[in-house]
Amino acid sequence: MKSALSYTGVGRRRWVTLMVFFLFLLLHQTDKLLIGPLTTPIMQTFGIDESQMGAAFTGALLVGAVLYPVWGYLYDRFARARLVALASAIWGATTWLSALAPTFPAFVVSRGSTGIDDASYPGIFSMVSDYFPPAMRGRAIGLLQFSGPLGYLLGIALALGLGGLLGWRAVFVVTGALGVVLAVVILLVVREPARGASEPEMAGHDAPATERFNWSVVRQLLRKRSLLLLYAQGFFGVFPWQVITYWIFRYLEVERGYTPDEVFVTMSVAVIVISTGYVAGGAVGDALFRRWRQGRLLASAGAVLVGAVLLPLTFSVPIEQRTLFLLMLCLNAIFIPFAGPNVSASVHDIVLPEVRSTALALLNFIESIGSALAPLIAGILAVQSSLGVAMLLICVSTWLICTVILFMAARLAPRDMDTLRAQMGARVRARIEAAQA
């Protein structure tokens, strides 16, 4: 009998598919983050102030947050590869609308519409979990998440390189065209794997024993205590990310006296190191998972705890010792992303294949709520003390909370993993019995 990998073509296509998805995420993140470095020329075009520009930022974030559960349901209900291609086409179309917007209200609406495809990632990670077996998922997801920081740097490069030459509208036209091209590539190259194809129980069978999406299975997600803990960790875990993303530039400029060029060099180095941290985190999580089932979550908890210790040490470096500060910042950057690929892989370790997109979409939705709150809280605290104190207070406190939650999830996760393995085994046995009847 053929293995599940042979039946679905996973063995032959997994790396090609991963490369296509990496390219999609890289260029999509580039397009999504371009608005940051292009903010000033956009504001000059429409004659608006910071509060009005903030409305354009917020609109896309809100649309994306609301649509996470919708995309999750669609991915679990219909063919995921085609939906990813649709998301890519929507990316291209909405970016073009932003480029063509004649007035600021039209720009706000068109920019808000770009949030539609921003919530389309859960299906990609669900498909990856069907291409890669549990022991390889952390590395695969880490490689995909590696695209985020690289997309940020590529966005800056495009804005600086093309923005001044062609104008911000032309830059959006270029990135929108990339979305349309990738939609065609995804349709032609990516093949839909059977849900659950890479699960250990599927080996040695002609076709994976999968079930269709149903709401009763979704409701059962809320009974998995380890999954609920991962959701709680997701809410608090994004606070440091958002605080650092939105406020680190101003902290370097105002409280450490960096010039714009020094800020760019410092953050470029840090972002590159963060990129490697995703891959390293996924690899370490996979290695520990092969030894202990809770290994991914232990790796995540340990890395988060290290971050809570290192950041105060980094911020305590004297202002004049910039080389030491950069080294400490890079050391932080290695550990900060460790939890990302391991938490996503852990969701797939305990959830049935037919609802994995929904489960991950719920995590992303909860993270979006934390994302919206974090910069505001940091700003309020900064007014009362300083930006450095505000960043430390939020980052260290939430990292400590996440450490406790992740250790608790590590303790409970093996039981939910056993439940999943038993459910998959029962499906295989039922399929064999049906074939023999």
User: What confidence category does residue 2 fall into, taking pLDDT thresholds of 50, 70 and 90?
Assistant: very low
The residue whose two tokens read 């290290």 is 306
Q: In terms of C-beta density within 10 A (0-12 exposed, 13-18 middle, 19 or more buried), how is residue 386 classed?
A: middle
User: What confidence category does residue 53 fall into, taking pLDDT thresholds of 50, 70 and 90?
Assistant: confident
- Looking at the fold, whether 275 and 380 belong to one and the same domain comes out as yes
Contact 71, 123 (CB under 8 A): yes
Give the pLDDT mean for 312-336.
95
Instruction: Dig out the tokens for 383 from the structure.
Output: 């007014």
- Looking at the fold, whether 48 and 184 belong to one and the same domain comes out as yes
Is residue 247 included in any domain, yes or no? Answer: yes
Q: Is the pLDDT of residue 299 over 70?
A: yes
- Looking at the fold, whether 49 and 82 belong to one and the same domain comes out as yes
Within 13 Å and on the Cβ side, how many CA atoms surround 74?
Answer: 19
Contact 292, 298 (CB under 8 A): yes
- Looking at the fold, whether 168 and 222 belong to one and the same domain comes out as no
Q: Is the pLDDT of residue 422 over 70?
A: yes
Cα–Cα nearest to 403, from 328, 334, 327, 335: 335
pLDDT in the model for residue 50:
66
- Looking at the fold, whether 237 and 120 belong to one and the same domain comes out as no
Instruction: Return d(Cα 133, Cα 199) in angstroms, integer.
Output: 6
CATH number at residue 114: 1.20.1250.20
Under DSSP, is residue 385 helix (H, G, I), strand (E, B) or coil? coil
Cα–Cα nearest to 98, from 8, 24, 171, 204: 171
User: What confidence category does residue 207 fall into, taking pLDDT thresholds of 50, 70 and 90?
Assistant: low
User: What confidence category does residue 196 fall into, taking pLDDT thresholds of 50, 70 and 90?
Assistant: confident
Under DSSP, is residue 386 helix (H, G, I), strand (E, B) or coil? coil
Instruction: Dig out the tokens for 36 from the structure.
Output: 């940051």
Q: Please report the DSSP string for 46-105 in residue order.
A: HT--HHHHHHHHHHHHHHHHHHHHHHHHHHHHS-HHHHHHHHHHHHHHHHHHHHH--SHH
Last residue of one domain, picked from the residues 193, 227, 243 = 193
- Looking at the fold, whether 187 and 224 belong to one and the same domain comes out as no
| Residue 214 phi, psi (nearest 5) | -150, 150
Cα–Cα nearest to 59, from 139, 124, 118, 12: 118
Cα–Cα nearest to 402, from 240, 277, 257, 291: 240
Instruction: Return d(Cα 225, Cα 284) in angstroms, integer.
Output: 24
Instruction: Return d(Cα 271, Cα 322) in angstroms, integer.
Output: 17
Instruction: Dig out the tokens for 167 from the structure.
Output: 């104008």
Q: How many domains does the chain have?
A: 2
- Looking at the fold, whether 188 and 51 belong to one and the same domain comes out as yes
- Looking at the fold, whether 220 and 337 belong to one and the same domain comes out as yes
Give the pLDDT mean for 328-342.
94
Is residue 282 included in any domain, yes or no? Answer: yes
pLDDT in the model for residue 25:
95
User: What confidence category does residue 1 fall into, taking pLDDT thresholds of 50, 70 and 90?
Assistant: very low
* 77-86, 106-115, 302-311, 378-387: least confident range: 378-387
Q: Is the pLDDT of residue 359 over 50?
A: yes
- Looking at the fold, whether 172 and 306 belong to one and the same domain comes out as no
pLDDT in the model for residue 7:
42
Contact 297, 406 (CB under 8 A): yes
- Looking at the fold, whether 155 and 304 belong to one and the same domain comes out as no
First to last CA, the chain: 18
pLDDT in the model for residue 91:
95
Q: Please report the DSSP string for 230-269 in residue order.
A: HHHHHHHHHHHHHHHHHHHHHIIIIIS---HHHHHHHHHH
What DSSP character marks residue 207? S
Our CA dihedral for 366, 416, 205, 141, rounded to 10 degrees, sits at 40
Predicted confidence (pLDDT) per residue in 125-146, tens digit: 999 999 999 999 999 999 999 8
Domain ranges, residue 78: 11-193
Q: In terms of C-beta density within 10 A (0-12 exposed, 13-18 middle, 19 or more buried), how is residue 259 classed?
A: exposed
Q: Please report the DSSP string for 303-353 in residue order.
A: HHHHHHHHHHHHHTS-TT-HHHHHHHHHHHHHHTTTHHHHHHHHHHHHS-G
* 64-73, 109-118, 150-159, 413-422: least confident range: 150-159
Tell which phi-psi region holds residue 212, choosing left (phi > 0), alpha (psi between -120 and 50) or beta. beta
Under DSSP, is residue 298 helix (H, G, I), strand (E, B) or coil? helix
- Looking at the fold, whether 385 and 354 belong to one and the same domain comes out as yes
- Looking at the fold, whether 95 and 141 belong to one and the same domain comes out as yes
Q: Across the chain, what does the average pLDDT equal? A: 88
Give the pLDDT mean for 251-268.
86
Is residue 6 included in any domain, yes or no? Answer: no
